[in-house]
Amino acid sequence: MKHRFGYIQVKSQFVPTEVSFQRAIRDYTDILDQMGGQEWSVEKLTNPQPLFYLMTTGGTEQALLDLRLKRKVLVADEPVLVLAHPAYNSLPASLEVLARLQQDHDSGRIFYLKGSDDSSGFNQIETAIHDINVSLALKQTRIGLIGTPSDWLVASSPDPEVMEKTWGTRVVKVSMDELKEFIGKVSSDAIPPLREPLLNAACEVIEPSNRDIDDAVKVYLALKESVRKHKLQALTLRCFDLVMGLETTGCYGLAQLTDEGVIAGCEGDLVSTVAMLWVQLLLNKTPWMANPAQLDEVNNTLWLAHCTIPRGLVKDYGLRSHFESGIGVGIQGTLSNEPVTLIRIGGKRMERLWLAEGDIIKSGKSEDLCRTQAEIRLSTGHVSDLLNAPLGNHLTMVHGHHLKRLHDWWTTMIVGR
């Protein structure tokens, strides 16, 4: 089995010698090994994989602090994950050392295992492993900023250094001129294999001409070439430059890339692109980025709307023009009525978070909003928050109720830093 995480036994000078103690500790380490863990020596502290500290007995507080000091020099921004068990004063030692770590502004948590058969406790450890791996994945992510953020995103254009420091993601700047060059080089032979399935699956095509659709496919292929050339895991596009400069749109291209697992945000919005990427990595679900176009404080409802959506999220779709400009290809999808979670990252350091849960209660086709529209009634959270303390325009939506899962990760990995 490939090792997924490490654990280190934290011992004091008063380590019991009796066989029963060795057997008790081995009961826990055997399970950890079966989960994909590996016992580490001090020499392995450079390994970036998740690390757990198994408090074997009491009197181990200083030993853990010493190990943490060495680990922190080598692997920064990692919470301290402490494993405690019911015997040999393991739990008291864990409480004392975590209190000290928090006094020193270090983050961490204790996993209390009631026994080697504590399936709930070991499931929490599995969750923590995934959480740290998501953090590691974010630190390895290259987000392409194609063009610059749209001029109106005055609260959603963070300094790339801020993004890297808080969320770990690296911004790679790509010029619009390069993208336009890629668009011009797209072979006509590459278009039909993408155009025909797009048209055949559409329930209607209203404004777009055949040329509009071909141009939209070219944009997708050019974006894909940017992903390849710059080794991107995600991107965000200053898409209105395509509308004004080439009379085409990125709506299809951004939706198609996201369906394929390459998160693609609109308007050069780095904040929302990070939110979508986080959702994809943590929940393994495809997100949707949209405008909160209308809201009702009395009924705690809001309408989300945008001219693009991954087609894997909708039960049917039509091809329309881009709403604001009447140009190119937009996607008008119909969303099913089901539970959803809404996310917005914000703050000067991208350290703030707004979360809400609710249900889609209606899809719309209003002609005075962006093409894909969904009305959502919140069950947890309040739409009035968006009026009183907004973190920015775009919201990220994901199917299912995941507020606690998202909040727990954010509390440990972002707030705890």
Distance (Å, whole) CA 278 – CA 384: 25
- My answer on whether 170 and 65 are in the same domain is no
- My answer on whether 233 and 130 are in the same domain is no
What is the CB neighbour count within 10 angstroms for residue 104?
9
- Could you give the C-alpha distances from 168 to 108, 277, 385, in angstroms and in order? 19, 12, 27
Amino acid 2: pLDDT: 63
- My answer on whether 221 and 294 are in the same domain is yes
What's the CATH number where 298 sits?
Answer: 3.40.275.10
- My answer on whether 150 and 128 are in the same domain is no
Amino acid 379: pLDDT: 98
Conformation bin of residue 361: beta by default, left when phi > 0, alpha when psi is -120 to 50: alpha
Dihedral sign (CA 328, 398, 294, 332): positive
- What is the residue-wise DSSP string for 263-292? EEEETT-HHHHHHHHHHHHHH----EEEEE
Q: Minimal CA–CA distance to 35: which of 59, 10, 5, 73?
A: 5
- My answer on whether 157 and 92 are in the same domain is no
Dihedral sign (CA 302, 304, 310, 312): positive
- My answer on whether 209 and 357 are in the same domain is yes
Distance (Å, whole) CA 406 – CA 409: 5
Q: Which helix (H) or strand (E) holds 240?
A: helix 240-246
Amino acid 416: pLDDT: 63
35 alpha carbon, distance to own chain's centre: 25
- My answer on whether 325 and 223 are in the same domain is yes
* Below-70 pLDDT ranges, the chain: 1-2, 155, 416-417
Decide: residue 315, CB within 10 A, 0-12 exposed, 13-18 middle, 19+ buried. exposed
- My answer on whether 66 and 133 are in the same domain is yes
Instruction: Say which residues have a Cβ less than 8 Å from residue 257's Cβ, sequence separation at least 6.
Output: 220, 223, 224, 227, 235, 263, 264
- Single residue among 117, 139, 161 that ends a domain in this structure: 139
The answer to whether 327 and 251 are in contact (CB under 8 A) is no
Number of domains in the chain: 2
CB environment 182-192: b (16+ within 10 A), e (fewer):
bbeebeeeebe
- Single residue among 139, 172, 197 that ends a domain in this structure: 139
0.85 exceeded by the pTM?
Answer: yes
First to last CA, the chain: 32
What residues make up the domain containing 121? 5-139
- Could you give the C-alpha distances from 186 to 52, 222, 225, 231, 262, in angstroms and in order? 50, 7, 10, 19, 20
The answer to whether 407 and 360 are in contact (CB under 8 A) is no
- My answer on whether 89 and 166 are in the same domain is no
- Single residue among 124, 139, 154 that ends a domain in this structure: 139
Amino acid 1: pLDDT: 52
What's the CATH number where 30 sits?
Answer: 3.40.50.10940
- My answer on whether 90 and 160 are in the same domain is no
- My answer on whether 118 and 223 are in the same domain is no
- My answer on whether 350 and 410 are in the same domain is yes
Beta-bridge partner residues of 302: 295, 376
Q: What is the DSSP letter of 337?
A: S
